[in-house]
A and B are shown apart, each in its own frame.
Chain A
Amino acid sequence: SQTIHQWPATLVQPVGSPLSLECTVEGTSNPNLYWYRQAAGRGLQLLFYSVGIGQISSEVPQNLSASRPQDRQFILSSKKLLLSDSGFYLCACLQGDKNIQYFGAGTRLSVL
């Protein structure tokens, strides 16, 4: 089964600073990859998903962007963070043969 690595676990950034969160997957090839944001006490908001290298689908127009430079690498970025970008960011991977989604441990971002 696959393993999803996300880092850092916690991040505190000032407003206006750039952001780069990385997600890498082991144990599978050509996975569908996802970025979600979860606000405190709220459900999961799908931000981006990718079905292959260089392919990005954006679900919510906002201050963030995503890239997939390698098959098992998914990066979430921002040029200038806003206070509203604070939240818990989760990377997920689809196990295609079972149609099941697995999650990484998440990054808790606080923008101050």
Chain B
Amino acid sequence: QKEVEQDPGPLSVPEGAIVSLNCTYSNSAFQYFMWYRQYSRKGPELLMYTYSSGNKEDGRFTAQVDKSSKYISLFIRDSQPSDSATYLCAMKGFNKFYFGSGTKLNVKP
């Protein structure tokens, strides 16, 4: 079983839609959770960071962590064509990070 599972998509939505991206994980010891956005041929850039359970909001982005279900989500409101990218979830273990395989999102104008 992989440490982190993420649906690879692709996910195609119209501009203005609400997007929901999700990951599940197996290690209950994970405490730090991240979402990265990666544009084609670029390095991943940090989008959201959450410690332990709960919600965190930043503009159009909301990250949720449910440790009881080992499930994390990223919501994008009022999606824009510029949000088209691959989204990677990540969790921190001891000295290492565990990444999902990434979900490719396409927001159509």
**Could you tell me which A residues sit within 8 Å of B by CB distance?**
6, 32, 34, 41-44, 46, 49, 51, 57, 59, 88, 90, 92, 98-106, 108
The answer to whether B41 touches A100 (Cβ under 8 A) is no
CB < 8 Å A-B pair total: 52
**Could you tell me which B residues sit within 8 Å of A by CB distance?**
6, 8, 31-32, 34, 36, 41-46, 49, 51, 88, 90, 92, 95-97, 99-102
The answer to whether A103 touches B96 (Cβ under 8 A) is no
- Looking at chain A's contact residues, the main secondary structure is strand
Q: How far in angstroms is the closest Cβ of chain A from B3? A: 11
Q: How far in angstroms is the closest Cβ of chain A from B15? A: 24
Q: How far in angstroms is the closest Cβ of chain A from B106? A: 14
The answer to whether B32 touches A99 (Cβ under 8 A) is yes
Among A49, A90, A100, contact of B34 (Cβ-Cβ < 8 Å):
A100
The answer to whether B95 touches A49 (Cβ under 8 A) is yes
The answer to whether A103 touches B43 (Cβ under 8 A) is yes
Q: How far in angstroms is the closest Cβ of chain A from B20? A: 20
- A104: which B residues are within 8 A, CB to CB? 43
Q: How far in angstroms is the closest Cβ of chain B from A87? A: 12
Give me 15 other A-B pairs in contact (C-beta within 8 A), A100-B46, A103-B45 excluded.
Answer: A6-B43, A42-B101, A43-B99, A43-B101, A46-B97, A51-B95, A59-B96, A98-B49, A99-B31, A100-B34, A101-B46, A101-B90, A105-B43, A106-B41, A106-B43
Also in contact, A44 and B92, with CB within 8 A (given A90-B43, A100-B46): no
Alpha-carbon gap, A102 to B102, bound state (A): 17
Alpha-carbon gap, A41 to B43, bound state (A): 13
Closest to A46 in B: B96
The answer to whether A43 touches B43 (Cβ under 8 A) is no
Alpha-carbon gap, A32 to B97, bound state (A): 11
